[in-house]
Each structure stands twice: as C-alpha cells, then as structure tokens.
Amino acid sequence: MTVLETVLSVAEWAVPVILAVVLHEIAHGCAALYFGDTTARDMKRLSLNPLRHVDSVGTVLFPLILILSKSPFVFGWAKPVPVRFSRLRNPKRDMVWVALAGPAMNLFQTICAFAVLSLCQNVFHVALPQPAMRILLNIIVLNLSVMMFNLIPILPMDGGRIMTGLLPLPWAVKFAKTERYGFGIIAFLLILLPVLGNYIGRDFDFVSRFLAFSVQKLVLFFVVFFGLEEGESIMGIGFFQLLVILLIVLVLFGRGKLPALAEDLGKSVSSFKKGLNEDKENETVNKTEVKQNEMDQAKKE
C-alpha cells in the first residue's frame, strides 16, 4: 500500500468522525450562545480544532472497550461542550433546543451527503471517485449513529436533556437526579449486559441491535427519498423541490423565524394551561357559591 493509499484510507474514516463529533458539539455551543449562555464561547470550545473536543473516556476508552467486547455497534462521544443552563433565558425550554442542536447537526450532515450523492447521480450523471464515495457513505452512517446514540433518553445524553425539558417540572426534577447514574446505566446496557449474555449464551445486546436497526431503516428511507434507487421517492418530491424546501428552511433560520415560532408556541401552550387553571378556579368558586345559596335557602325554610 502506497503512502497516498494509506492517507486516503485513514481519511475515509477520520474526516467523517471529525465532522460528526466536532460539529455536533459546536452546534450545542452555538445554540447555547443563541439562547444566552456564552460559556462555550468564553472557553473557546466553538472551535473546529478536534483536539479541543477529545474526551479520554468517550472518544478513546469507550469505543476501544466496545471493539474488544466485539460489539456489533461501535460509537462514542466527544468532550461535552460546557453549558450553564441557568444562564439561558428560559432554562427549561431552551434546554430542549440546545440538546436538539447536536443531533440536528448530525441529521443535517447526513442530508447534505445524500444530497451530493443524489446530485451526482440524478442531475449531473457522474460517478464519484471511490474514496469520495466511501467518505460520503461513512459520513451518512456515522452521523446517523451519533444522532441515534445521543437521542437515548438517559442523562446526560441529549435525549435525557430533551426529556428533562419536556417533562412537567415535578417529574423533570426527579428525572434530573438520575444524571449521576447515567454513564453507569449506559455502560451496563452497552457493555456489561452484552458480555453477560455472551457468557450464558443469550443475546442481551438490545440497545446496539436497536441502534443498528434504526440506522439501517433511516439509511433506506433516505436512499428512496433522494431517488438513489429504482422507484418513486417516498414523499414524491424531486431533488430540486427538496433543494427549494431546504433553502426556505435556511432562510427561516437565518431570520430567526423558527425560534420565534417555537417561542410563540410555548407562549400559546402556557396561555392554554393558564386558561384551564382559571376555568377550574372559576368552577370551584361557582360550586362554592351554589352550595352557600342552598344552605341559606335551607335556613330560611
């Protein structure tokens, strides 16, 4: 193998891993900055330098253990971007958007990779070089894997943050207390339980199989959606129609419309809840007045 072949072989995995992990964390930091927390920016974590995001456990040790334990699904995580939720303008609500930003970035990279493949195949009718093709395919698989893994509803994963923000406050407080056990739960589900299953001859690797199944189904969906196989796309739209939709979404994001819509939706929900509470209070007052009138009538009789 020549030096060039070696470099290309390393780049086929290094480029997708760096993009998937680093941009995921930067997205969290940018979302936090948008909603009022400057911690990530102040600590210079909004950087494309991969070394600033390497975590000794999540980036090195955890994937190595999964490889040695012959797990069918290998993944990890970068050093979490520091976010002080108390600095967010609306901590409970904005926590959801900050947590969603990372997986959303992974999904965006996946869509971009599929769009490039679709553009080359269906518009320009050109074949990509094999190294470029493998990089794009690895970008797709890795980003979907990182997205699904981080959406596991266990703290401190992004899915756990999202659940904390969506739960009613009393339940959210109780659920937040489970964060201290989060990595222990993840290690048990992804490492200890499969090892125990192998020891007794049973398949207990439920989480890895679910993640592999989810990624496979998502890949198949996007393959059909972008017209990369025979047959009509699932949603019946072409590449240029999809491009127009993406441009509209980007324009809305650029003008701050979507966060504003989300904020309006939150206000609407709060107003609705407030109205329900007021109706209940009025109903209680009316019942009290009716009972009082009945008692007064009974005394007169």
Given 25, 179, 230, 281, the catalytic residue: 25
Query: Is residue 103 within a helix (H) or strand (E), and if so which, with residue range?
Result: helix 91-118
Given a contact cutoff of 8 angstroms between Cβ atoms, the answer to whether 191 and 69 are in contact is yes
**DSSP codes of every residue in the chain:** --HHHHHHHHHHHHHHHHHHHHHHHHHHHHHHHHTT--HHHHTT-S-S-GGGG--IIIIIIHHHHHHHTT-SS-----PPPP--GGGSSSHHHHHHHHHHHHHHHHHHHHHHHHHHHHIIIIIS--PPPHHHHHHHHHHHHHHHHHHHHHTSSSTTSHHHHHHHHHS-HHHHHHHHGGGGGHHHHHHIIIIIHHHHHHHHT----HHHHHHHHHHHHHHHHHHHHTT-SSS--TT---HHHHHHHHHHHHHHHHTTHHHHHHHHHHHHHHHHHHHHHHHHHHHHHHHHHHHHHHHHHHHH-
12 is catalytic: no
Q: Which residues are catalytic?
A: 25
